[in-house]
Structure 1
Amino acid sequence: MKMRLFVGIALDPALTDALKRLTASLRRAGDGLRWSSPESWHITLQFLGATDPQCYESLLARLSEIHRPPLAIHLGVPDVFERAGVFHIGVLPSQHLTALERHVVAATALCGIRPEDHPYHPHITLVRSKGHEGRRGLHALLEHLHSPHTLPSFTAHEFLLYQSLPTPTGSRYEIRARFPLSSPPAQ
């Protein structure tokens, strides 16, 4: 049976707490919305999709070969991905984050996984819309944000391989493997 997988970065507790406060203040602002649970918040590096179990061990081996330093994660502003119907917090691009994403894509390509066909836009999904009414609700969230919210930055010390498991209330994400971000091994 195929596994629905993706590679990502978990959020640190201070950021998760700040996002909980932000979403609590917004929940009354939008209708027709499906709120992501704090346990599901992450920054995707690459969505792998339905992956054959035979590929799993190869994926683990290839991802474990990635040697990148820990990286600072700085957040941008809340925004909406209109076509996807997603309200999110942007992650500011950085040389180190882009390099890690490219290394992940290269490693998974060696396992036969095709890269996504759109540019990489790092973000944290907070809300998904349900239909046309939900799309209006996403924009109501942006309008409700009267003042800028300062969200804490953090340093990522690892990246993760997640499995997405369907549940009646949406997907639940299970960590399948952890890969440390550390300096390259000495030569």
Structure 2
Amino acid sequence: MNGRENGKAYQRLFMALRPDEAVVKALGGACIELKRDKAFEGVRWMRPENLHVTLVFLGRQSAEDASRIAATMTEVAPRHQSFDIVIEGLQTTRNNWQKGVLMAMVRENDSLRNLQLDLARSLASLDIEGLDQREYMPHVTLARLKQERISPDQLSSVNFSLRQQVRTMGLYESITLETGAVYTLLKTVQLGSRA
């Protein structure tokens, strides 16, 4: 649990797709190439086990709401069949905390967009507070940057195009420690499955 407030336990939650082992390895190779560039000194790289494509960021949620969130994910999954995603290209942006983020971009497709919209709408109907309202931009966060931007030339020096079939989605808890975030898988559901 992430904390307690007024006697209630809270967790910081998100729903995500997990890259498969081959994709994680390839992204690790891209990061190794980038680490050779001085512009990436002092960057805080994500641990391989933390790489993911967020579907919905849920923020702090009570145990009661976490249970409803998990049930909603289970209800949404049968409405969507497995699909492929393609991860290609790098980009930087600033997050909500005004820190730079290095991302591997996920090419949008109708299946991914429909799954994300279905989850967001289904969760919104539960009247759960804290749902991320930003425009959806599918990506895999690779690193937190000291500086806001890295030049496009530095990013374009690393090329990759990674394809993966998405069969499952997961509900994760995020716990922030001094050494970085730890993501714990709380529930996995199979797409297209009623189980």
TM-score range, shorter chain: 0.7 to 0.9
**Residues 135-179 of structure 1: per-residue CA shift (max 9 Å, x gap):** 3xx515x53345451232010000000000122111110000001
* d(CA) in 1 for partners of 2:156, 2:136: 28
- Is there any run of 5+ residues in structure 1 with no aligned partner, and where? none
1:125 matched to 2:158: no
Q: Which one has the bigger strand percentage?
A: 2
Say whether the 8 Å CA contact 2:69–2:123 is kept in structure 1.
yes
**Residues 28-53 of structure 1: per-residue CA shift (max 9 Å, x gap):** 32123211111110000010000011
**Structure 1 residues 19 and 155: alpha-carbon distance in aligned structure 2, compared to 1, 3 A threshold:** same
* d(CA) in 2 for partners of 1:60, 1:183: 15
* d(CA) in 2 for partners of 1:84, 1:159: 27
TM-score normalised by L of structure 1: 0.87
SS in 1 for 2:161: coil
Letter paired with 1:71: F
1:26 to 2, 24, 34: 34
**Considering only aligned residues, what root-mean-square deviation do their CA atoms show, in Å?**
2.0
TM-score normalised by L of structure 2: 0.84
The percent of aligned pairs where both chains have the same amino acid is: 26
SS in 2 for 1:58: helix
Specify the alignment match of 2:122 in structure 1.
107
**Structure 1 residues 107 and 93: alpha-carbon distance in aligned structure 2, compared to 1, 3 A threshold:** same
Specify the alignment match of 2:4 in structure 1.
none
Specify the alignment match of 2:25 in structure 1.
17
**Structure 1 residues 59 and 128: alpha-carbon distance in aligned structure 2, compared to 1, 3 A threshold:** same
* d(CA) in 2 for partners of 1:120, 1:176: 23
